[in-house]
Structure formats: C-alpha cells, structure tokens
C-alpha cells in the first residue's frame, strides 16, 4: 500500500522528482541527451533537518566540430538520514571531428554523422535502479545527420540518410513532461526534440533550438559544415519535493503550490 506524503507516526514522508541538466547538441551532430530523471515516494526525512537541493545546469552546445556538446550537470537532494539522491547530467551530442563517441549520462547524447554509423552515448550512467534515462541514437553513415539524444522515456532515434534523428520522449510527472532528448542536425530533415523540453535540431546553416529551461531537455544538434549555424545548449534541471506539510524554512526561492515545492535553482528546505 502506498503511503501518501505527510507526517506518519512521527516520520516525515516525502515524494520527489529530481531532473538533471540536459546535454548540449553537437555539430554535424547529435542531439544532447536529457538529464537524468528520478522520482520516488515514501522517502523518510528527519524533522528539523535541513536538506540541500542542487539544480543542475544544461550543457553548452559544441563550439566546434572537434568537440562534442558539453554534458549537463547533476541535480541532487542530500541531507540527514537519506542516501544522496542524484540524477546525472545528460550526455552531450557527438560532433563529427571529435574522434570519439557521444558522451554518456543520465540519457546519452546522439551520435554524429560520419562515414560510418557512429553510436550514441549510453543512458543511465552511472547505473541506477530504476533507470534514469536511455541511450542516444546512432548518426548516419553519410556524414550529414546526427542521431537523437536519449530521453527519460525512450531511446533517441537513429538518423537515416534523410536525417530524422528525433530526440527520445521524456516522462510525465504531475501532468508535465520532463527530460526529453534533443534532435539531431541534418542536411535534409532535422530531428525533432523529445516531448519533455528537448530542443529541435537544425537543417543546413540554421541554428538549433535549446532545451527548455527547468525540464532537463537536451539541446538540438546543428549541421554546420560551413561553420555557420550553432548547436544549442541543454535545458537546466528541476527538483520537486512534497511532504504534505508546509516547510518551516527554505532558501533558493522555490515556488509553492499547496505543499509542493519546485526548485528551479539550488537552495535548501527544512521541515
């Protein structure tokens, strides 16, 4: 039987969502992987203890084709009586002169377009149970299209010769989707961003779309053969915590809806 958030027999029972920052997109490149997504109920907190909330930032889009997009930063809840709850930043999208696969992370970045298919990064890295994300898609073998970044709810799509490296879909929490993967860049059909804040990839010399703020969405990848058109940054993360009662104090200016606190910046909470 599930225990609802609140105070039960002297214990404070919390429900939470922890989403990390999404990865930035690559050039000739894959979409950024979504930030790690972790949620749970029935977490026991200590009355009077202060819990530190860390909200991870999104990774920057690749600045050149010699480097992958930057990975996002971790989000966490830490404090007395609990094992630190960490969601891993999303992996950046691969770039086609980087000479290495797309980075891994909460969800993996999409692989870059190359003369041979280039795999996306691994999701759920480091490993947690249940999984906090999925792998990025593979880039195409004609050096024109990047794979989609992995999302919390699905792997990123593999690019084909016409592009279509769509970002993996995120997951829903309290009727809102979070942690969608970024779309890959392409010569023809750029990848769409995954539902949950994933940014769209770009065609030709256009700029890719950034992951949405406070969703952990991955940034879109860009085509960028003529050194115009920018890869996009991943979206910052978010932490939501609900104990069924109002906290005695907070820092970091979270928003309050009923007894649900939403942190869009790092801070703390005391019950």
Residue-wise pLDDT for 74-116, tens only, equals 999 999 889 999 999 999 999 988 777 899 999 999 999 888 8
pLDDT at position 209 is 98
Check pLDDT > 80 for residue 126: yes
Q: C-alpha distances in angstroms, 17 versus 20, 105, 109, 176? A: 10, 18, 22, 12
Q: Average of pLDDT values for 122-135? A: 96
The strand pairing partners of 241, in sequence order, are: 16, 261
pLDDT at position 3 is 41
Check pLDDT > 70 for residue 42: yes
Q: C-alpha distances in angstroms, 65 versus 47, 54, 58, 96, 142? A: 51, 31, 19, 6, 16
Residue 20 to residue 152: CA distance in whole angstroms: 11
pTM of the full structure: 0.94
Each residue's pLDDT tens digit, 199-216: 999 998 899 999 999 999
The strand pairing partners of 257, in sequence order, are: 260
Check pLDDT > 60 for residue 1: no
Cβ atoms of 102 and 83 closer than 8 Å: no
pLDDT at position 99 is 72
Q: C-alpha distances in angstroms, 137 versus 24, 39, 134, 159, 213? A: 15, 24, 10, 7, 23
Each residue's pLDDT tens digit, 141-193: 988 899 999 999 999 999 998 999 999 999 999 999 999 999 999 999 999 99
pLDDT at position 7 is 52
């Amino acid at each position: 039987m599930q225990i609802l958030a609140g105070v039960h027999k002297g214990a404070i029972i919390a429900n939470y969502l922890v989403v990390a920052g999404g990865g930035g997109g690559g050039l000739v490149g894959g979409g950024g992987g979504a930030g790690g997504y972790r949620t749970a109920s029935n977490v026991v907190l200590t009355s009077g203890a202060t819990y530190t909330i860390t909200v991870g930032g999104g990774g920057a889009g690749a600045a050149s084709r010699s480097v992958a997009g930057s990975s996002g930063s971790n989000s966490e809840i830490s404090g007395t009586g609990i094992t630190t709850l960490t969601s891993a930043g999303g992996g950046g999208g691969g770039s086609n002169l980087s000479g290495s696969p797309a980075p891994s992370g909460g969800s993996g970045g999409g692989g870059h377009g190359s003369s041979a298919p280039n795999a996306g990064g691994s999701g759920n890295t480091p490993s947690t149970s249940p999984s906090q994300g999925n792998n990025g898609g593979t880039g195409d073998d004609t050096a024109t299209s990047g794979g989609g970044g992995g999302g919390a709810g699905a792997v990123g799509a593999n690019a084909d010769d016409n592009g279509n490296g769509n970002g993996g879909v995120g997951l829903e929490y309290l009727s809102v989707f979070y942690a969608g993967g970024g779309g890959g860049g392409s010569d023809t059909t750029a990848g769409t961003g995954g539902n949950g804040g994933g940014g769209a990839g770009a065609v030709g010399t256009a700029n890719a779309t950034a992951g949405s703020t406070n969703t952990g969405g991955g940034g879109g990848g860009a085509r960028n053969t003529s050194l115009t058109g920018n890869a996009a940054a991943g979206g910052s993360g978010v932490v939501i915590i609900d104990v069924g009662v109002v906290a005695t104090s907070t820092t970091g200016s979270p928003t309050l809806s009923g007894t649900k606190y939403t942190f869009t910046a790092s801070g703390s909470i005391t019950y």
